[in-house]
Amino acid sequence: MTKRVKRAPMATVLPKNIRNPRSDVVALVPDDRKLRREFTPGMAADKLIILFSRVDLDCEWCLTRITAEDHRCLLDRIRSIESMTLFQVFSNDGKIGKDYEIPTLPNARARRRLEELEYDDRDKISRLQITGERRLYGFRAGARFYALWWDPHHRIWPSKKK
């Protein structure tokens, strides 16, 4: 008589349009559940999204040098900006967001740093005004803003008014 070998249960194959839950807890959440606060209520495709995957960690404008007060201001402003469309942010006479031509960047150290990072081949660098002199610089790609530098004293692209 041959002995039957007990096999491990086979994985359930789900149709392609159904996600496989990563845990039993996720599987217990009903799909029709109404949450009190949505993370992206009616989020339009043209809303600005700020990403920190390109932050420069090895320069004088690194976000790790931010003060606690500035950090709070930055997060509060990002929350506000992410509720706006690209048009609202970048077409307001530069009050919130503005694009600059990289070849005309007045700060020589910033230009050299872009070369070191191999970002100098881009046409434009963008900035978001956080409060007063505080600025967040980065690059835009569609509706994404890739944060690069934190400039709390408005020195990367100083105002011509001063």
Beta bridge partners of 134: 131
C-alpha to C-alpha distance for 138 and 149, rounded to whole angstroms? 7
pLDDT of 132 = 92
C-alpha to C-alpha distance for 8 and 123, rounded to whole angstroms? 57
Q: Determine contact, residues 160/104, Cβ cutoff 8 Å.
A: no
Q: How confident is the model at residue 10 (pLDDT cuts 50, 70, 90)?
A: low
Tell me the mean pLDDT in the region 64-73.
95
Output the six-digit token pair for 124.
């434009």
Residue 7 pLDDT > 90: no
Which of residues 69 and 5 earns the better pLDDT score?
69
Q: How many Cβ atoms sit within 10 Å of the Cβ of residue 5? A: 5
C-alpha to C-alpha distance for 151 and 154, rounded to whole angstroms? 6
C-alpha to C-alpha distance for 49 and 150, rounded to whole angstroms? 17
Report the helix count and the strand count for the chain, using DSSP H and E.
4, 5
Contacts of 50 (CB under 8 A, 6+ apart): 78, 81, 82, 128, 136, 138, 144, 145, 147
- Give the tens place of pLDDT for each residue, 88-142: 999 878 789 999 999 999 999 999 999 999 999 999 999 999 999 999 999 999 9
pLDDT of 30 = 57
- Give the tens place of pLDDT for each residue, 18-61: 555 555 445 555 567 776 766 655 556 688 999 999 999 999 99
Tell me the mean pLDDT in the region 63-71.
95
- Give residue for tokens 């919130």: 96
pLDDT of 77 = 97
Q: Which helix (H) or strand (E) holds 18?
A: none
